A and B are shown apart, each in its own frame.
Chain A
Amino acid sequence: MPNPADQTSSPETPTWLVQQPAIESLINVLTQSGYRVIGPRIEQHAIVYDDIQSIEDLPQNWCDTQAPGLYQLSPIPNQPNKKLFHYNVGPHSWKKFLFPPNSILSPIDNQAPPQKPLAILGARACELAAIAIQDRVFINEHYTDSNYELRRKDLFVIAVQCTTLADTCFCSSMNTGPKLPPPDNQQFDLALTELPDASYLLRVGSQRGQEIATSLFRQHPPQPASHNQIESEHQAISHVESNMKRSLPTENLKENLLKQLQNPHWDDVASRCLSCANCTMVCPTCFCSSVDEVHDLTDESIVRQRRWDSCFNPDFSHTSGAPVRNTIRSRYRQWVTHKLATWFDQFGSSGCVGCGRCITWCPVGIDLTAEVAKLIAPTSKPNAQ
Chain B
Amino acid sequence: MTLTLPNHPNSQPNDPWAPYPATLRSVRSEFISSVPSLPNVFTVELELHPGPFAQNYHFLPGQFNMLHLPGAGEVAISHCGPHSPPNPSLPLANHHPQQGSFLHTIRAVGRVTNAIAQLSPGDLLGVRGPFGNPWPIDQLEGHDVLLLAGGLGLAPLRPVIYAIIKQRDRFGSVSLLIGTRNPHTILYAQELESWAQAGIQLEITVDQPQQTDIPSESQNSLWDLNLGPITLLLDRRRSKNFSPALRHEKTKVLICGPEIMMHHCAMNAHKLGIPTNAIWISMERNMQCGVGYCGHCQWGPFFLCKDGPVLRYDLAEPFLNIKDL
Contact = CB atoms under 8 A, between A and B. Distances in A.
A141 B5 contact: yes
A319 B72 contact: no
Interface in A130-145: 137-138, 140-145
B322 interface: yes
Contacts of B295: 287-289, 309, 311, 316
A319 B284 contact: yes
Contacts of A319: 284-286
A320 B284 contact: yes
B322 A334 contact: no
10 contacts: A106-B17, A137-B293, A142-B5, A143-B11, A143-B14, A143-B292, A290-B294, A309-B295, A326-B324, A330-B323
B52 interface: no
B298 A290 contact: no
Contacts of B11: 141-143
A33 to B, nearest CB: 29
Most A CB atoms within 10 A — which of B3, B302, B322?
Answer: B322
Nearest to A330: B324
Nearest to A147: B17
B13 A144 contact: yes
Contacts of B298: 311, 334, 338, 342
Q: Chain B contact residues: over half helix, strand or loop, or mixed?
A: loop
Contacts of A287: 293, 295
A147 to B, nearest CB: 8
Contacts of A141: 5, 11
A143 B291 contact: yes
Given A287-B295, A289-B293, A316-B296, A261 B325 contact: yes
Contacts of A146: 15, 17
A290 B288 contact: yes
B209 interface: no
A324 B5 contact: no
A244 interface: no
A342 to B, nearest CB: 4
Interface string B1-39: 111010010010111111000000000000000000000
B71 interface: yes
A370 interface: no
A80 B252 CA distance: 76
Contacts of A142: 5, 8, 11, 291, 306
B70 interface: yes
Interface in A105-150: 105-106, 137-138, 140-146
Interface residues of A, number: 45
A380 interface: no
Interface string B277-318: 000000011101101111110101111001000000000000
A346 interface: yes
A122 B251 CA distance: 60
B291 to A, nearest CB: 5
Nearest to A145: B293
Given A288-B294, A316-B286, A295 B324 contact: no
Nearest to B3: A345
A294 to B, nearest CB: 10
B88 interface: no
A325 B324 contact: yes
B300 A342 contact: yes
A366 B298 CA distance: 24
A338 to B, nearest CB: 6
A289 B294 contact: yes
B8 A138 contact: no
Contact of A318 (B8, B18, B286): B286
A385 interface: yes
Given A293-B70, A345-B1, 8 more contacts: A137-B293, A289-B294, A291-B289, A309-B294, A324-B285, A325-B325, A342-B298, A346-B303
Contacts of B300: 342
A311 B3 CA distance: 23
B286 A291 contact: no
A10 to B, nearest CB: 39
A302 B325 contact: no
B286 to A, nearest CB: 5
A309 B74 CA distance: 16
A317 interface: yes
B324 A106 contact: no
A381 B238 CA distance: 38
A56 interface: no
A288 B296 contact: yes
A279 B74 CA distance: 28
Nearest to A299: B71
B301 A345 contact: yes
Nearest to B1: A345
Interface string B128-151: 000000000000000000000000
Contacts of A346: 3, 292, 301, 303
B285 A317 contact: yes
Most A CB atoms within 10 A — which of B15, B73, B285?
Answer: B15
Given A291-B74, A345-B3, A321 B294 contact: no
A382 to B, nearest CB: 13
B16 A143 contact: yes
Interface string A308-337: 010100001111110011110110011000
Interface in A318-376: 318-321, 324-327, 329-330, 333-334, 338, 342, 345-346
B90 interface: no
B5 A342 contact: no
Contacts of A309: 294-296
Most B CB atoms within 10 A — which of A143, A287, A326, A334?
Answer: A143
B196 interface: no
B110 interface: yes
The 6 lowest CB-CB distance pairs between A and B, nearest first, are A288-B295, A330-B324, A345-B301, A342-B301, A143-B291, A143-B16
